[in-house]
Amino acid sequence: MRLLRLFIIIAVLALVPHTAQAEDGYDLWLRYQPVGQQWRDRYASAATQIVAAGDSPTIRAAASELSRGLGGMLGRGVATASAVTRDGAVLFGTPATSAAIAALDLPLAPLGDEGYLIRSVDVDGHRATVIAANSDIGVLYGAFRFLKLMQTRQPIDGLDISDAPKLKLRVLDHWDNLDRHVERGYAGLSLWDWFTLPQWHNPRYTDYARANASIGINGAVLNNVNAQAEILTPRYLDKVAALADIFRPYGIKVYLSVKFSAPIALGGLKTADPLDPKVRAWWQAKADQIYARVPDFGGFLVKANSEGQPGPQDYHRTHADGANMLAAALKPHGGVVMWRAFVYSQHDSEDRAKQAYNEFKPLDGKFADNVLVQVKNGPIDFQPREPFHPLFGAMPKTPLMLELQVTKEYLGFNTHLAYLGTMWAETLDADTHAHGPGTTVARLIENGKGTGLTGIAGVANIGNDRNWTGSEFDQANWYAFGRLAWNPQASAEHIARDWTRMTWSERPQVVDTITAMMMRSREAVVDYMTPLGLAHQMATGHHHGPGPWVSNLGRPEWNPVYYNRADGNGIGFDRTASGSDAIAQYAPPVAAEFGSLKTVPDKYLLWFHHVPWTYRMKSGETLWDALIEHYDRGVQAVAGLQRDWASLAPFIDKRRFDEETAFLEIQHQDALWWRNASIAYFQSKSQLPLPAGHAEPPHDLDYYEAIKTPYAPGQ
């Protein structure tokens, strides 16, 4: 009997995932859980010794990460040594710091400042793995890559890997205010505890830097683009400097968002006119003051003349005048200006989708050589689906930086599962035809117009929640952003698979199921929120939940009705020549494809065309029927995610499993809400019955219009 009980206990324990303690998501994709027996055997004679060549803070960070990672995964201590003395050693450093590495005569030159090489070699008669680079930061990136091989259960013998980032600036933009409120943040307060800085160095700052370095992110804009001028006061600059010191060993530069009117607010000047000598002198002195504290300061990010922010147009100057004035102040120190093209004017009745192009295209070639123009992926505002921004390909003389939104302002906040890797890949792979076929957005941003200035920015989804991002699955979006920033042509599926292995489990069933869930998750959101090219149908202000009927806001383009244009005849925004002609901002082959009803992909139909409810889709069904099917497909897809997730219960630690189960329930409820509210509204216009097999919304339109979500986070 006792034996039987023991047997039952052992059998039950074998079913419980082999995590030593309940997981809470803090460790992100750097969990370094013990590998299973099969891999422990395979790695038995590898990674026996860690040999650091050099002693900089960055090399020390690499050593510490390797010992943490190898120790965790192999479940044994890994000796450190100053020279290779055993088979299975891991030697890492640069040829400048190690005669042993120099003697290997490795082909490092093409890898630049941040690339690395990992090779299985012989050192002093011992089998070893060398992780080498031209710089210490390259070595750290290589160390993370080596660990990833093991985290994703790859062989680590016979290695010959080399890699280098395709973009120079790989930056997270934190929309964090000085009171720690995060605009569009769904993961708690800002990580930056300004009140206790510069004295208190929360260890979390280092973990943030580790996570970023592990995926190659090399910049952080610390504060919101809706900037507060005070960040530029000496008191705050001391705090900024403390963060910069913590991040430096991990290759992360700090940047600041600046308020264009800071010379007035802080300097007591009467103007912020970029051509005024006193204003220019103020910024120059400010830049000097910053660099005295942060010698490797990255530069400024600027939102100007957009959504009420001050800017050069207040003085009848151009965006180029404004950007170049700041660029001149930063230039002697090697800093850059990231000038946002997210502009639309309250005085311009032009289609909002056209305004950024109209303002910026004429300025091509007029920006200083340390300015990048930062362009959102689509022409409106981080919608669940947008076509690529027409500025990509339209400014051949200006380095353009792609801006993505990692935080899910318009995709269900932290409680909806939406893997954004597929969405970003859609933009990156989009063919602008700017210089002939194959001129994808990825290739354009990698090019940098010969200036060497290339970059990508992601609006961060990080806060002080224990799991960093407010949900386990939103960690994947931080991870995917870093991976695509390193290589914009990487596969979204490959990235999802890597992340799943590192975050959840090595079990093939878990890896396959979660990867598949992620890969279809964003399309589900598109289907239940904004199918067939609809956009900006969200409720007012916080953007949570549906509001397709909203028409009472101060500016036309803030209202969902502006975008859906639903009436008794049909739905959609005519952006062809018969409408706003936004289509003309694209290269002719793109304009021809999107502009014709025969060739426009269904996913962009209502973005570019206003069509009757009875319009025949390529499938033969009517637009009305197709619309309803998409809403239902979205809801069903979420039910599918719930089922798939439930099937993983035996393999996922309880806390993380329960949280995601609850979040998927929320997502399902919200998807139904979106579906029912949207159908109720559009049916009030179309007056058509639902196609057979599709349920009527359970309530009337008034019911949905009355739903309010006060206190939604992130506003």
Map residue 67 onto helix, strand or coil. helix
Give the pairing of strands 126-132 and 89-93: parallel
Residue 541 Ramachandran class (φ > 0 left, ψ -120 to 50 alpha, else beta): left
How far apart (Å, rounded) are the C-alpha atoms in residues 191 and 202? 9
Is 183 an interacting residue with respect to ligand GCV (CB under 6 A)?
Answer: yes
As measured in angstroms, the least distance from the Cβ of 405 to ligand GCV is 8
Q: Concatenate the DSSP letters of all residues of 439-476 into one string.
A: -BHHHHHHHGGGTT--EEEEE----SSTTSSSSHHHHH
Q: Is 472 a catalytic residue?
A: no
How far apart (Å, rounded) are the C-alpha atoms in residues 673 and 675? 5
User: What phi and psi values does residue 54 have, to the nearest 5 degrees?
Assistant: 115, 170
Q: Which is nearer to ligand GCV, 447 or 540 (CB)?
A: 540
As measured in angstroms, the least distance from the Cβ of 559 to ligand GCV is 14
As measured in angstroms, the least distance from the Cβ of 36 to ligand GCV is 45
* Sequence-separated (6 or more) residues with CB below 8 Å from residue 3: none
As measured in angstroms, the least distance from the Cβ of 403 to ligand GCV is 8
Determine which residue in the list 29, 205, 342, 413 makes contact with ligand GCV, applying CB under 6 A: 342
As measured in angstroms, the least distance from the Cβ of 18 to ligand GCV is 43
As measured in angstroms, the least distance from the Cβ of 175 to ligand GCV is 5
Give exposure, 677-696, as e/b (b: 16+ Cβ within 10 Å): bbbbbbbebbeeeeeeeeee
Is 644 an interacting residue with respect to ligand GCV (CB under 6 A)?
Answer: no
DSSP summary character for residue 121: E
Is 416 an interacting residue with respect to ligand GCV (CB under 6 A)?
Answer: no
Instruction: Write out the binding residues for ligand GCV, residues 577-596 only, by CB under 6 A.
Output: none
Instruction: Write out the binding residues for ligand GCV, residues 276-315 only, by CB under 6 A.
Output: 303, 307
Q: Is 307 a catalytic residue?
A: yes
As measured in angstroms, the least distance from the Cβ of 342 to ligand GCV is 5
How far apart (Å, rounded) are the C-alpha atoms in residues 529 and 633? 11
Residue count of the chain? 715
- Report how far apart, in Å, the C-alpha atoms of 519 and of each of 20, 343, 485 are: 30, 32, 19
Is 92 an interacting residue with respect to ligand GCV (CB under 6 A)?
Answer: no
As measured in angstroms, the least distance from the Cβ of 542 to ligand GCV is 9
Q: Which is nearer to ligand GCV, 373 or 495 (CB)?
A: 373
DSSP summary character for residue 636: H
User: Which listed residue (163, 173, 381, 632) is catalytic?
Assistant: 381
Q: Which is nearer to ligand GCV, 273 or 409 (CB)?
A: 409
Q: Which is nearer to ligand GCV, 175 or 194 (CB)?
A: 175
Is 226 an interacting residue with respect to ligand GCV (CB under 6 A)?
Answer: yes
Helices (H), 175-229: 203-215
Decide: residue 5, CB within 10 A, 0-12 exposed, 13-18 middle, 19+ buried: exposed
Is 184 an interacting residue with respect to ligand GCV (CB under 6 A)?
Answer: yes
Q: Which is nearer to ligand GCV, 66 or 221 (CB)?
A: 221
Q: Which is nearer to ligand GCV, 224 or 318 (CB)?
A: 224
Q: Select from 83, 77, 78, 92 the least CA-distant residue to 49.
A: 78
At 93, the amino acid letter reads G
Q: Which is nearer to ligand GCV, 52 or 538 (CB)?
A: 538
Q: Is 625 a catalytic residue?
A: no
Is 317 an interacting residue with respect to ligand GCV (CB under 6 A)?
Answer: no
Is 562 an interacting residue with respect to ligand GCV (CB under 6 A)?
Answer: no
DSSP summary character for residue 249: G
Map residue 255 onto helix, strand or coil. strand
What is the size of the binding site for ligand GCV (CB under 6 A)?
10
User: Which listed residue (27, 176, 273, 409) is catalytic?
Assistant: 409
Judge contact between 361 and 398, C-beta under 8 A. Answer: no
Is 364 an interacting residue with respect to ligand GCV (CB under 6 A)?
Answer: no
Is 175 an interacting residue with respect to ligand GCV (CB under 6 A)?
Answer: yes
How far apart (Å, rounded) are the C-alpha atoms in residues 84 and 323? 52
As measured in angstroms, the least distance from the Cβ of 408 to ligand GCV is 12
Q: Which is nearer to ligand GCV, 376 or 501 (CB)?
A: 376
User: Which listed residue (288, 307, 567, 700) is catalytic?
Assistant: 307
Helices 421-428 and 472-486: crossing angle, nearest 10°?
20
Determine which residue in the list 381, 431, 474, 660 makes contact with ligand GCV, applying CB under 6 A: 381
Q: Which is nearer to ligand GCV, 178 or 279 (CB)?
A: 178
- Report how far apart, in Å, the C-alpha atoms of 18 and of each of 188, 466, 590, 654 are: 30, 22, 52, 12
The residues that touch ligand GCV, with contacts defined as CB under 6 A, are: 175, 183-184, 225-226, 303, 307, 342, 381, 409
Q: Please identify every residue annotated as catalytic.
A: 307, 381, 409
